Amino acid sequence: MEHIERTQIKVSPKNRLIGWGLVWLGVALCSLGYIVDAREAAFNNVLNFLFLAGIGIGALFFLALEYVTGAVWSVPIRRVNEFLAWLVPFAALLAIPILFNLDTVFAWAQKNIAASDALLRMKEPYLNRSFFILRFFGIFIVWIMFIRLLTRNSMRQDATGDQRLTKINTILSAIFMPVFALTLTIFAVDWGMSLDPHWYSTIYGIYFFSGTATASLAALTLVTAVLYERGFFPKLRRDHFYNLGALLFTFVNFWAYIAFSQFMLVWYANLPEETSWFIARWHGGWEYISIVLILVQFAVPYFVLLPQEAKMNIRTLRRMAVWLLFAHALDLYWLIMPAFSATPPLGWMEISFPILIAGVVLIVLGWQVQNLSLVPVGDPKLKRGLEFRL
């Protein structure tokens, strides 16, 4: 078992070339996008920045959740979440072009609009360039600090077997949970809700969390399934995959519940300053995106994952993981892009940033699986995790 658990994957030069090729192609297309139409490029940049950051911070959330709850079943695959969490600093780099184009994306950052709008003047103490950038760096510094501490202790435990490191990580995770709730809400409000500064929703933060959690679970499931099919997780059982499938099913329902709750509260109150946001998503072609989103993000995965057998089927889980990652991208498209255009934009610029993100993910994960152990061999709960039964 020891040899198996310490197995590291040798990434072929071909796969590294594909990763770097996607990165450079993505960089070229994104740069061209900013030259051709800086506004559309910046909005696509926001969308994909939120997508990548969400998967990374969602992985950190589930990593911390394992420690806080003392979960056993997820220990053998915990390292996948540790790998995915390191996407967060790369997401921060993706945001840098936006910071230089804030007035292109955010109405509150345009001095002439902010000066002539009474509501924006009231919100100026919070919605201003300096404080926005300060919050951005503050949030990412805190997130990266927790990623560094938790993953460093986990890696150190591989070498030392020191069980005290599990206790230290449990304490750190308990501290992280309220920090995560606060920072993710601020992050969602800053980068999503403030695109329409006249609109507000007290449930927006939890809505963003529901989509982020679903996407990060899908990423965890996809990576785990692919590695398992290639023989790198031979000790995993159907019971482990059932838990992944059950969690995916749970968060699909959770997203639908929160999405409907937000819509219902706005519909019931029927206040013009609230309904305008949904009205914009029910005209000009956005109504079709709205309907498709319900089908893609909820109806299809709900019925596919409903049977017990589907939650244990590796091929089904792998396909649904890809499906839900696409669904989350569509959800962010529905959240972000109506602030850019009254009709759904679809062109080469909408695929330029996904190409860049795909390359970044391949390179980051490729480096980690080649240089680090796939399984936390020093964790005292590993044996019980591998023997897990429902």
What's the per-residue H, E or C state across 279-342?
A: HHCCCCCHHHHHHHHHHHHHHHHHHHHCCCHHHCCHHHHHHHHHHHHHHHHHHHHHHHHHHCCC
Nearest to 83 by CA among 24, 21, 9: 9
Judged against a pLDDT cut of 50, whether residue 3 lies above it is answered with no
**Mean per-residue pLDDT, 370-384:** 90
Work out the percent of the chain whose per-residue pLDDT is above 70. 98
Q: Could you identify the residue written with the tokens 């950052």? A: 109
Q: What is the pLDDT of residues 311-338, one digit of tens each?
A: 999 999 999 999 999 999 999 999 999 9
Judged against a pLDDT cut of 60, whether residue 4 lies above it is answered with no
d(CA 131, CA 125): 8
Q: Residue 339 is part of which domain span?
A: 2-386
d(CA 8, CA 233): 11
Contact 22, 358 (CB under 8 A): yes
Nearest to 140 by CA among 176, 188, 187, 208: 187
d(CA 54, CA 365): 16
209, two tokens: 């969390």
Judged against a pLDDT cut of 70, whether residue 5 lies above it is answered with no
Name the domain count of the chain.
1
Q: What is the pLDDT of residues 251-293, one digit of tens each?
A: 999 999 999 999 999 998 888 888 999 999 999 999 999 999 9
271, two tokens: 């206040």
d(CA 373, CA 368): 8
Amino acid symbol at 362? L
